[in-house]
Amino acid sequence: MTKTLDHLSRLENQSIFIIREAYSQFRNIAMLWSIGKDSTTLMWLVRKAFFGKVPFAVLHIDTGYKFKEIYDFRDTYAQQWGINLMVVKNDEAIAQGVCPKTGKFECCNQLKTEALKQTMDKYKFKALYLGIRRDEHGIRAKERVFSTRDEDFEWDYKNQSPELWDQYKTKATHEEHIRVHPLLGWTELDIWQYILRENIPIVSLYFAKQGRRYRSIGCETCCSPVASQADTVEKIVEELQTSTISERSGRAQDKESAYIMQKLRSLGYM
Amino acid sequence: MTNILSFVIVGHVDHGKSTLVGRLLYDTDSLSSDKIEEMRKRSTELGHDIEFAYLLDHLEEERVQGITIDTTQVFFKSKKRRYVIIDAPGHVEFVKNMVTGASQANTAILIIDAAQGVQEQTRRHAYILSLLGLRGVTVVINKMDLVGFDKCQFESIEKDITDFLNRIDVHVNVCIPIAAKTGDNVVSRSNEMNWYKGPTTMEALDAVEIDIRRDSATFIFPVQDVFKLDDERVILGTIESGSIRENEYVSVLPTLQKTKINKLKVFGREIAEASAGESIGVITQAPVFLDRGMVLVNDENDVVCSDTIQAHLFWMHPKSYALGDKVDIRIATQEVRCVIEMVVKKINSSTLELINAAEAEIKNLEVAQVKIKTKKAVMYKRFQDNQGVGRFVLVRDGSICAGGIII
Ligand SMILES: Nc1nc2c(ncn2[C@@H]2O[C@H](COP(=O)(O)OP(=O)(O)OP(=O)(O)O)[C@@H](O)[C@H]2O)c(=O)[nH]1
């Protein structure tokens, strides 16, 4: 008998399909792990897709401004899950003094996008898994599951190729790489409900301490916590079902200008 | 509330798709307070009244020009269930983006401007929906405020569109007069159109039943990859239809070898049975050779395995297809070289006019009934019998340039 899958199981199975689809096309693929809830969920799904193995390199872009909790979490689970972790840093820019104070746009662009670009060049990765979701930010809602970047890393968002059903743009020609987004169709609530169901370990910054918690984590300098009493996964799920504040409201990049995210992304930002 | 209905809103440029989406979100309290604030601020910055379309049109170019360029998906919920809304661009230049959006939808809303009536993209989009296999649409006649909420105008457009949809075998669930800008008959009932007794847009959506796939029960498992796990070769894939148990026998297509399923694998738990929609691993009895593009089935007589395919396709690439050109066809995980051997007929996707089929090419935005010849036999079924292996895309240089269904 064919059974009907519940919503989370359907999302899980689709994401595993996408992860395997990309890996079958690109053996030289890598995954970005920001250690946040989304990319940690993605890691969980990758482990499911390959029966507990992570058969490719995992990149952590380290600006040097991350929270201590993030570094600790990363090192613990990289070891526990047998991950081939590569820490990616733009040492040159850091040496030149690029930092949040010299301008947030430049900081993100240099310490994240540039750093990633250097690594992709060096290791000739042809594709990259990212844990972005459509409901995070309007510009991300425009993304495809398989999305191309040209040799300069730029996203030609006005001329994306079509994607029909579960057939994706594949085989990058030599001058481009493909971003693969297995979580595109998940919402923030789906992620937390799945974390709850699967008991996925999550960095402690998401849980409320003294009435505040982070809903989205990145660099310590550019993230601010929101008021919340939710100190368990159950309570976060409950909070999200009633909240009217959007997820990235604590993120500085999103506020500076209406189109800063579009500009960052078109230049290759994640 | 485990089920989500995804629907696409399609129609001619400027007929109000993005506005309708914005209104649905706003009137169901699905918007965060900071998004509403942002929308107000941006609208005034660019010197407009509140524009609900800003909620969806996120690209700078989209807001400045007031058109949607690429498809967007947003989430919301009614009292009854959760929804994914897919906003698709109306401009002819962006039809491929519309197709991308529509191929992900369970159902569709076709929107028509009451003052302008049925237009070129109204018809083209409706036709594309039918080619993608969507058989029922909800029609909304928008901007009723511009025609003084006139019943006769509504009825005349309703008749036009119903006639057209009947010709392409699409069923109209209901036709609703609305004004997206003011919210009339979107979520709340309009006070201006007491002559209309049918459901509001929200009620009509809540009444749509999620199409349960009526695929046959044959077990179909397109092989996605072979993964070496320690010293085992695990066959990876997602079950397209039917179900399978350990120790059952299957046939491998196209080679027609027989093998036994020794073990089913899912990480973290033991399973003895798996069914449609599940992404699993399979270990078969040695020594059959399996690779991506092969298909495991439990009843090879219920599927077709052939190098000839009869299909309807929609060409959506500016570079035309010249008869005899080699492209790749993909059906599930199968991918082989093919040529379109014969064009049975060609149709203009908006006017439905027949185009001279003797012409040796298929141009952008043309629909054609064709005979495809593949280099090797591929496994498929008619679309009406199985969606997953009844549809295909044609690929040139790594990009999808056409999509279609097998007849
Ligand atoms: N008077 C009136 N104007 C409306 C109504 N609904 C939408 N509009 C206006 O029609 C214009 C086009 O609306 P959009 O929602 O951007 O149209 P669209 O169909 O999304 O356009 P594309 O996505 O570019 O195809 C905008 O200026 C809206 O304010 C309505 O009910 N009444």
Instruction: Find chain A residues with C-beta within 8 A of B59's C-beta.
Output: 139, 142, 157-158, 262
Is B100–A162 a contact, with Cβ atoms under 8 angstroms apart?
yes
Cβ of A139 under 8 Å from any chain B Cβ?
yes
Which two tokens mark B41? Answer: 């601020």
- Residue by residue, pLDDT tens for chain B (407 residues) are 347 898 999 999 889 988 898 889 888 887 777 777 777 777 676 666 667 766 665 555 565 555 566 667 788 888 888 898 887 776 766 788 888 888 889 899 999 999 999 998 899 889 988 888 888 899 999 999 999 999 999 999 999 999 999 988 899 999 999 999 999 999 999 999 999 999 999 999 999 887 665 666 899 999 999 999 988 899 999 999 999 999 999 999 999 999 999 999 999 888 999 999 999 999 998 778 899 999 999 998 999 999 999 999 999 998 999 988 999 999 999 999 999 999 998 888 888 888 876 778 899 888 899 999 999 999 999 998 898 999 999 999 888 999 999 99
Q: Which domains, from first to last, does chain A contain?
A: 8-187+255-266 (3.40.50.620), 189-251 (no CATH)
Pick from B96, B266, B330: CB nearest A167: B330
CA angle at residue B306 from B303 to B308, to 5 degrees? Answer: 120
**Predicted local confidence at residue A3, as pLDDT:** 59
The atom number, within ligand 1, closest to the CA of B12 reads: 25
With a 6 Å cutoff on the Cβ, whether B68 touches ligand 1 is yes
Does position A255 have pLDDT exceeding 50, yes or no?
A: no
> How much distance in Å is there from the Cα of B14 to the middle of ligand 1?
5
> How much distance in Å is there from the Cα of B11 to the middle of ligand 1?
11
Q: Is A230 left (phi over 0), alpha (psi -120 to 50) or beta?
A: beta
Is B267–A259 a contact, with Cβ atoms under 8 angstroms apart?
no
Report how far residue A201's alpha carbon sits from residue A37's, in angstroms, rounded to the nearest whole number. Answer: 9
**Predicted local confidence at residue B111, as pLDDT:** 96
- For residues A102-127, average pLDDT: 80
**Predicted local confidence at residue A147, as pLDDT:** 85
Residue with tokens 């009509």: B204
Higher-confidence residue of A106 and B404: namely B404
The atom number, within ligand 1, closest to the CA of B21 reads: 15
Pick from A1, A12, A20: CB nearest B225: A20
Instruction: Find chain A residues with C-beta within 8 A of B69's C-beta.
Output: 157-158
> How much distance in Å is there from the Cα of B19 to the middle of ligand 1?
5
Report how far residue B354's alpha carbon sits from residue B357's, in angstroms, rounded to the nearest whole number. Answer: 8
Residue A140's pLDDT band (cuts 50, 70, 90): confident
Report how far residue A170's alpha carbon sits from residue A147's, in angstroms, rounded to the nearest whole number. Answer: 9
SS3 A122: helix
Closest-CA residue in chain B for A134?
Answer: B73
Report how far residue A247's alpha carbon sits from residue A141's, in angstroms, rounded to the nearest whole number. Answer: 14
Instruction: Find chain A residues with C-beta within 8 A of B265's C-beta.
Output: 51
> How near does any CA of chain A get to the CA of B53, in Å?
12
The atom number, within ligand 1, closest to the CA of B89 reads: 23
Cβ of B271 under 8 Å from any chain A Cβ?
no
Residues 6+ away with beta carbon under 8 Å from A76:
none
Looking at A188-192, A251-255, B348-352, B397-401, which range is the least confident one? Answer: A251-255
**Predicted local confidence at residue A32, as pLDDT:** 94
Surface of B (142-201) touching A: CB under 8 A: none
> How much distance in Å is there from the Cα of B336 to the middle of ligand 1?
43
Cβ of A172 under 8 Å from any chain B Cβ?
yes
Report how far residue B121's alpha carbon sits from residue A203's, in angstroms, rounded to the nearest whole number. Answer: 49
With a 6 Å cutoff on the Cβ, whether B180 touches ligand 1 is yes
Report how far residue B158's alpha carbon sits from residue A238's, in angstroms, rounded to the nearest whole number. Answer: 44
Is A245–B32 a contact, with Cβ atoms under 8 angstroms apart?
yes
Interface ipTM? 0.87
> How much distance in Å is there from the Cα of B15 to the middle of ligand 1?
5
Cβ of B361 under 8 Å from any chain A Cβ?
no
With a 6 Å cutoff on the Cβ, whether B123 touches ligand 1 is no
Pair B320, B364: CB distance under 8 Å: yes
Interface test with B, best of A19, A51, A240 (most B CBs within 10 A): A51
Looking at A3-12, A18-27, A191-200, B326-335, which range is the least confident one? Answer: A3-12
> How much distance in Å is there from the Cα of B23 to the middle of ligand 1?
11
**Predicted local confidence at residue B138, as pLDDT:** 96
